[in-house]
Structures are given as C-alpha cells and as structure tokens.
Amino acid sequence: MAWRVVVDMDLCESNAVCMAILPEVFEVRDDDLLYVLDETPSDSMRDKVEQAVARCPKQAISIAER
C-alpha cells in the first residue's frame, strides 16, 4: 500500500528529533525550519519513519496511507 509522510507545521517545533532518526527524509536547516526531503520514502524506510512519528515531542509527524 502506498503511504506518505505528513508533518503538521503548526505543531512542529523543528527540534530535529526526526532528523536524528532519518536524515534522508527530514532536515532542519539554518532557518530553523523542518523540511521533508522525501514525502514518499521507500518501504525500506517505513520502520524509521514510524520511529520518527513515535518520538516526535509534539506529535507533528504522521503517516498517511493512500
């Protein structure tokens, strides 16, 4: 099943916990904003994305099934 990474930017504090888990998908840049580098990562990254979802302090990250 297809899925994608969703970030609620109103909740996100750009604390980079997700970037520490999966820098291929998440990046906090010099402007202190979070960028999703790949909204549809490969299935091999699903476990790491789920870790980022679970560890996000503001619960701003989710997975949307398509």
Examine the pLDDT at 65 and tell me if it is beyond 90: yes
Number of domains the chain is built from:
1
Domain that holds residue 36: 3-65
Average pLDDT, stretch 33-43? 97
pTM of the model: 0.94
pLDDT in the model for residue 31: 97
CATH number at residue 10: 3.30.70.20
Q: Residues 7-26: pLDDT tens digits?
A: 999 999 999 999 999 999 99
Cβ 20 vs Cβ 27: under 8 Å: no
Question: Helices in the chain by DSSP H: which ranges?
Answer: 17-21, 46-55
Instruction: Answer yes or no: are the C-beta atoms of 28 and 34 closer than 8 Å.
Output: yes
Query: Which has the higher per-residue pLDDT, 23 or 66?
Result: 23
Q: Using an 8 Å Cβ cutoff, are 61 and 15 in contact?
A: no
